Amino acid sequence: MDEIQENVNTSEDVITILIATDNHLGYMERDPLRSNDSFQTFEEILLYAKKYNVDMMLLGGDLFHDNKPSRKTLYNTIALLRQHCMGDKPCQLEFLSDQKKNFSSFFPIVNYEDPNLNISLPIFSIHGNHDDPAG
């Protein structure tokens, strides 16, 4: 970890991105010994992002193990995201394209630019073969 810290560029002109993939949240959730392993690992990743003050995270697919995650898995995931992604650290990213074209859903802008939310760690995600691309 010390080697990584020495190589982190702290210039304001550089965007630091933490890439995590194949988290498989909810894997073995019914196993009495391993039920929390995927969540503990995901929290370690989020803590790593905070420690190294990254500008954003990119999740490269397979966030969940099951295509339709259980209620417990969804709750644990939302709790971790809320705990580690919301805060007072200003977000330095700016969304440049027309958000109304890119976000035709109920939420017309990216959450880190919403004045009603304090997003300190934006996370972007692409779907994997275990994820439902429709949401």
Angle at 60 between CA 59 and CA 61, to 5 degrees: 100
Say how many C-beta atoms besides its own lie within 10 A of residue 100's C-beta: 9
What one-character-per-residue DSSP string does 37-77 give? HHHHHHHHHHHHHHHTT-SEEEE-S--BSSSS--HHHHHHH
Q: Which of 24, 65, 84, 130 is catalytic?
A: 130
Q: Are 30 and 65 in contact (CB under 8 A)?
A: no
- Asked if 130 is an active-site residue, the reply is yes
Q: Are 38 and 80 in contact (CB under 8 A)?
A: no
Which active-site residues does the annotation give? 130
